[in-house]
Amino acid sequence: MYERFYGFKETPFGLTPNTDYYFAYPDHQEALNVLLVALRMGEGFIKITGEVGTGKTLVCRKLLNILSQNNIITAYIPNPSLPPAQLMRAVADELCIKTSLNHDGQTLQRLISERLIKYKAQGKRLVLLIDEAQTIPLPSLEAIRLLTNLETEKSKLLQVVLFGQPELNRHLDDQSVRQVKQRITFSHHIKPMSREGATAYLQHRLKVAGYRGKVLFSAWIVNRLYRASQGIPRLINILAHKMLLAAYGEGSDVVTGKHVARAIQDTEGAIQPFAWRKWVWLGVSGLGLSSAAGAGVYLFIGGGL
């Protein structure tokens, strides 16, 4: 829509995880490094958590690309909210194992185990990546654990990476899957971006999209976008896209305060400007009450937004 107007080769702020736009933000890169080190060491379970929209799926896709270039077979399950037999069937399908609707969970596990042994004989290994892991039923998680019991004297035949929202941690606290929790030897929690990180992230995506014009987002605009998005990459993308739409609709070659205000107002989950003013009011009007003033200053300055 606005790509030609601004000189983009494609939309810079799409929501589909695209590894071409992977930004080596320190926290994301640390998550990727943890994964690569743990997989190299042959650990059975690895866990990556983060709030909605913080970039877990993009890190997962980036890992898939890296592993595919290193003779490592991968199986990716984006929706694991399945009973054990169906989850085993989904894993088997990823491994191109022929199955029948008559196969029960135990048979499917046997077929997968046989394929793992075959891979080992060929000098290959399998990494199973499970996205949205907080939705996996506990019996299904236990079924995955049983698959990881296959091992040689030196290494596991199957390694599992769990990507999930923070609810995954509570999921793993259940007594029925305590053996899974004990086998998670490496983990990392992805946090929202810092203000500086968000600025660099915006510039990176514009550059990858082929933008070579003058500055589209001033420091003041980026500051407002950051406060509204709270450093969540998905919200940053949504807001930046809507800001460009608003600017394009007026034929403006830069984004103004009016455009960012419209984007924020139109976006679910974005912190609205009136909320910022409320925190300022709490901090100022409560000067006579030290506790209220302290709370107001903290909410406004200390990341409460």
The pLDDT tens digits for 56-86 are 999 999 999 999 888 799 999 999 999 999 9
Determine the Cα–Cα distance for residues 149 and 45; give it in Å rounded to an integer: 11
pLDDT, tens digit (0-9, with 9 covering 90-100), for 174-208:
999 999 999 999 999 999 999 999 999 999 999 99
pLDDT at 224: 95
The pLDDT value recorded for residue 305 is: 36
Predicted TM-score (pTM) of the model is 0.85
pLDDT band for position 42 (cuts 50, 70, 90): confident
Indicate if the pLDDT at residue 4 is higher than 90. yes
Contact of 169 with 204, CB cutoff 8 Å: no
pLDDT value of position 101: 84
> Is 116 a residue whose pLDDT tops 80?
yes
Residue in the structure block whose two tokens are 């695209």: 18
Q: Which of 44, 18, 16 is nearest to 128 (CA)?
A: 44
Q: By CB neighbour count within 10 A (0-12 exposed, 13-18 middle, 19+ buried), where does 69 fall?
A: exposed
Least trusted range by pLDDT, from 10-14, 74-78, 151-155, 232-236: 151-155
pLDDT at residue 274, as a whole number: 59
Nearest alpha-carbon partner for 138 in 186, 56, 82: 82
pLDDT in tens, 264-291: 999 999 998 755 444 444 444 443 333 3
Mean pLDDT over the full length of the chain: 87
pLDDT band (50, 70, 90) for residue 153: low
pLDDT tier at 88, thresholds 50, 70, 90:
very high
pLDDT number for residue 298: 33
Q: pLDDT at residue 133 above 50?
A: yes
Instruction: Indicate the pLDDT class of residue 144, thresholds 50, 70 and 90.
Output: very high
Please say if the pLDDT value at position 227 is more than 90: yes
With b for 16 or more beta-carbon neighbours within 10 A and e for fewer, the 276-285 pattern comes to: beebeebbee
Q: State both tokens at 216.
A: 């589209």
What pLDDT score was predicted for residue 284? 42
* Residue 221 pLDDT > 70: yes
> What is the torsional sign of CA 74, 90, 92, 138?
positive
pLDDT at residue 291, as a whole number: 39
301 pLDDT above the threshold of 70:
no
Tell me which amino acid residue 20 is.
D
Q: How high is the pLDDT of residue 296?
A: 39
Q: Identify the band that residue 107 occupies on the pLDDT scale cut at 50, 70 and 90.
A: very high
Taking the C-alpha atoms of residue 279 and residue 305, their distance in angstroms, rounded to an integer, is 9
- List the domains of the chain with CATH numbers: 3-18+193-271 (1.10.8), 26-190 (3.40.50.300), 272-305 (no CATH)
